[in-house]
């Protein structure tokens, strides 16, 4: 690994109109789309500001209107885990692959550049996991390359525990990163109080 490791951020995004269905009782479809776009823009701009992140890559069906200079890896269409596996495969095999890849959720309105730098600073041969506010989901992963090139994403129920098991399968250490910016994703209506960081709810 180089003296100054190269760190990339990978952000998975859904197609327009497909995000945050559990908020339907509180927000209309256009409002949910606007919230999704606002949070995505915040996460992308935060990655740009992070001291240790040199490149941001998206994986999904479109850029949601973001700068066309941001690399986009297409989504094969078989769900989040397959999309991330496809992107990891491309990045790990790239001629100028990074030394570490941070996979970060697109719905973190309280995310700060320091949060991403904490993930970037995970020790060599360690996978860092940032759980959600419940401690069971996964809002970010920090994967060393090439050691974690074969990592199998397990997003879904109890994903944090499954991702720890995956790190152990690969013979890698596990670091847990706890911070307000990383734990506060927006999934349920009760989470919307935190969305005010990036999006104003009118009612």
DSSP code per residue over 155-177:
-STTHHHHHHHHHHHTT-EEEE-
| Domains in the chain: ranges and CATH | 7-195 (3.90.550.10)
Weakest mean pLDDT among 61-65, 80-84, 150-154? 61-65
In this prediction the pTM is 0.93
> Which residue is listed with tokens 């078989």?
78
Using a 10 angstrom Cβ sphere, with 0-12 exposed, 13-18 middle and 19 or more buried, the burial of residue 151 is: buried
Which structure tokens are listed for 17? 């109109």
**What was the pLDDT predicted at 57?**
97
- Structural contact between residues 109 and 199, judged by C-beta atoms closer than 8 angstroms: yes
In the three-class reduction of DSSP (H, G, I as helix; E, B as strand; rest coil), residue 68 is classed as: coil
Weakest mean pLDDT among 34-38, 48-52, 56-60? 34-38
CA neighbours within 13 Å on the CB side: how many for 79? 6
**What was the pLDDT predicted at 202?**
62
**What was the pLDDT predicted at 1?**
44
> What is the rounded average pLDDT of the residues 120-126?
95
**What was the pLDDT predicted at 27?**
87
Dihedral in degrees, nearest 10, Cα atoms 168, 126, 182, 6: -140
* Closest to 171 (Cα-Cα) out of 199, 189, 148: 148
* SS3 annotation, 86-113: HHHHHHHHCCCCCCEEEEECCCCCCCCH
Computed from CA positions of residues 203, 62, 144, 152, in that sequence, does the dihedral angle turn out positive or negative? positive
Mean of the per-residue pLDDT values for the chain?
92
**What was the pLDDT predicted at 66?**
87
């Amino acid at each position: 690994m180089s003296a100054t490791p190269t760190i990339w951020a990978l952000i998975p995004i859904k197609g327009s109109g497909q995000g945050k269905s559990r908020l339907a009782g509180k927000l209309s479809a256009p409002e949910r789309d606007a919230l999704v776009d606002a949070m995505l823009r915040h996460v992308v701009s935060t990655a740009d500001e992070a001291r240790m992140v040199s490149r941001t890559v998206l994986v999904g069906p479109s850029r949601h209107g973001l700068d066309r200079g941001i690399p986009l890896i297409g989504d094969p269409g078989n769900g989040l885990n397959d999309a991330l596996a496809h992107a990891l495969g491309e990045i790990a095999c790239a001629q100028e692959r990074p030394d570490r890849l941070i996979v970060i959720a697109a719905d973190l309105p309280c995310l700060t550049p320091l949060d991403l730098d904490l993930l970037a600073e995970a020790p060599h041969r360690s996978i860092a996991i940032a759980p959600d506010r419940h401690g069971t989901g996964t809002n970010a992963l920090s994967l060393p390359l090439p050691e974690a090139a074969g990592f199998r994403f397990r997003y879904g129920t109890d994903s944090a525990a499954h991702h720890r098991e995956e790190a152990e399968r690969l013979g890698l250490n596990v670091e847990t990163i706890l911070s307000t910016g990383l734990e506060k994703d927006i999934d349920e209506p009760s989470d919307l109080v935190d969305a005010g960081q990036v999006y104003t709810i009118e009612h």
